[in-house]
Structure 1
Amino acid sequence: MTGLRVRRTPRYRLMALVVLVVAAIAGVAAAEAGRAYLHLIDSEWLGERVMDTLARVRSVEDWSSVLPLRPDQDYAWIEGSGAPVRIAHALGESGSPTANTLAAMRRSYEAGLRLFEVDLILDRGELRCQHDPGPPSGKAQTGCTFDALLAALPADAWLVLDIKTDFASTGQRIVDRLKSPADARRVVFQLYRPEDFARFDAWQQQAALPGPIVTAYLAHRRLDHVALHAARAGVRVLTVPIHRLPALSTRPVGLEVMVHPVHDCVSWDVATRAKVNGVYALASLRCVIPVGVGTS
């Protein structure tokens, strides 16, 4: 694990809290670097308790409110995917001009990946492969739409959807575009907020969607809270931003943990030493699992 390494005793927790209060009074949190450093302290020393307290005060983000999904969720998409599971981030070429393109997916498939994460936006009724809303530019103009992507998806592969526009309307549009149960079973939704569970449950009544992922990159509650209630609701996969991984101290039985992004061997080493189950990675990434380190 990277970052600060301390024994999490009550004394150190008290010291960490004092540091956070002093820093906040001094206005350090106003700067981006200051916010990052404060979150590092909160994650490493306090298990995100400060962030969790602020979230409870400022919002109604309560993962304990989610109702369980239907029993026997279909997680065939994760079975037999290796250890750790590799999900092609932005179709395998995140950060490059060819991210979120059909060509990137083809290259990732040739590299052996079978799970393809794609950014999707809904724009004037069209579902486009694009990271941010707005007019398409560069490689985004090459015709990667949800329909084209699904048509080009090999029979032994799945799409993992990262919805970048309104979750309810974009998700409904995706469900409406699924023409058969076979297509639906190859589309894995990611849920971002507690209220997404009810919407997803309604979509599963319309289409044979497989079991979803809960991703914590928009969550402001502590990771242990999110993990506990995701597992209680019947979700088997939790995705965690790699910089928040130190705060995850509880892994409910049956819950598999993925991290993102993993774009270099340093982050690969962090992920594998933490014994995560999978990574959102570049298809071109080639790293060695450290000696004596396995996945759980």
Structure 2
Amino acid sequence: MTGPEARKALCYRLGAAAVLAVVAAMGLVASTGPGRAWLHRVDSGWLGERAMDSLARLRSAEDWSGAQPLRPGQDYTWLKAGAAPLRIAHALGDAGLPTANTLGAMRAAYQAGLRVFEVDLVLEGGELHCQHDPGPQPGIARDGCTFGALLGVLPADAWLVLDLKTDFSGTGQQVVERLKAHADARRVVFQLYRPEDFARFNGWQREIALPGPIVTAYLAHRRVDHVAFHVARSGVRAFTLPLQRLPALHERPAGMAVLVHPVHDCGAWASAGAAQVDGLYTRASLRCGSPLAAGAS
């Protein structure tokens, strides 16, 4: 073996050893807490999430290569709803605040110039409520925000992005049934979370004219390069991932917008700008010193 080949083989063995070490540590450390968070940062920043990916392949059948392709001609007009990068009003513009997911937050975000509004929805008692979690929500403002109420006040030049917090299939079907009676389903954007969601979404698109969806890596345990590659292959043009997982995305598929969350402070704003993302989920009130550069996709 020549000198360069020997060095390459050594680097490979060292890399594999590092992955195995982090896999072992992640298996031993509690599922939450600073220790595991630190290991995730190491895995994301240095190993491209290969340790997470190895654990996922051992523990589950999650495989994005089996995601059903979307129908051709997906409508992604909503990606151009405003200046680049796209600012998405997180929780209708007040994420993390008592007024999150309220009609008032959406009105304020619209006045601030945002045109794409992400809302958390839970299905309870047959109603689609605007809230982050099921059950009672003490300390959270209420102003009658439901999916139906949102559709009734959504401006003609705006879109809704849905973050379904209860069962994807059942909650999504309720959304579709409501949209069948609504004039413009093309302004309601679904987020898909798992490979099996593609088949369900394709069925909904046969019922109503929905725009092209987002795929989010929020619940994905495979490495983001694996997810992004197969998501793009399936015809998706919008990919969302948590900001802390962005360093692990080494290959951005051509023609696919990369969106990140959460961007609730100027530190996160600067990180998103340095990475040249195509869009971000942010608070409508956030104002930082430097404008974000347009995305690279």
Q: Taking structure 1 as the reference length, what is the TM-score of the superposition?
A: 0.91
Q: Percent identity?
A: 64
Give how far 1:227 is off: 0.4
Pairing of 1:1-296 with structure 2 (within 5 A): 10=12, 13=15, 16-17=18-19, 20=22, 23=25, 27-29=28-30, 32-139=33-140, 141-180=142-181, 182-289=183-290, 293-296=293-296
Structure 2 CA distance, aligned partners of 1:216 and 1:94? Answer: 19
**8 A contact 1:258–1:276 mirrored in 2:** yes
- Judged with a 3 Å threshold, the aligned counterparts in structure 2 of structure 1 residues 17 and 55 are, in CA distance, closer, same or farther, namely closer
- Judged with a 3 Å threshold, the aligned counterparts in structure 2 of structure 1 residues 109 and 40 are, in CA distance, closer, same or farther, namely same
**8 A contact 1:16–1:41 mirrored in 2:** no
- Judged with a 3 Å threshold, the aligned counterparts in structure 2 of structure 1 residues 211 and 163 are, in CA distance, closer, same or farther, namely same
CA RMSD in angstroms comes to 2.0
Q: Secondary structure at the match of 2:241?
A: strand
**8 A contact 2:102–2:142 mirrored in 1:** no
Count of residue pairs brought into register by the alignment: 286
Give how far 1:183 is off: 2.4
- What do the CA deviations read for 1:42-89 (whole angstroms, capped 9, x no partner)? 111110011111111111111000121110100011124211100000
- Judged with a 3 Å threshold, the aligned counterparts in structure 2 of structure 1 residues 148 and 223 are, in CA distance, closer, same or farther, namely same
Q: Which runs of 5+ in 2 are unaligned?
A: 1-10
Give how far 1:124 is off: 1.3
**8 A contact 2:23–2:51 mirrored in 1:** no
Q: Secondary structure at the match of 1:177?
A: helix
Structure 2 CA distance, aligned partners of 1:287 and 1:275? Answer: 16
Structure 1 CA distance, aligned partners of 2:42 and 2:30? Answer: 12
Structure 2 CA distance, aligned partners of 1:222 and 1:256? Answer: 18
Structure 2 CA distance, aligned partners of 1:232 and 1:18? Answer: 29
Q: Which runs of 5+ in 1 are unaligned?
A: 1-8
**8 A contact 1:120–1:129 mirrored in 2:** yes
Residue in 2 that maps onto 1:3:
none
**8 A contact 1:117–1:160 mirrored in 2:** yes
Give how far 1:141 is off: 3.6
Structure 2 CA distance, aligned partners of 1:163 and 1:30? Answer: 24
Structure 1 CA distance, aligned partners of 2:50 and 2:26? Answer: 15
Structure 2 CA distance, aligned partners of 1:72 and 1:198? Answer: 16
Q: Taking structure 2 as the reference length, what is the TM-score of the superposition?
A: 0.90
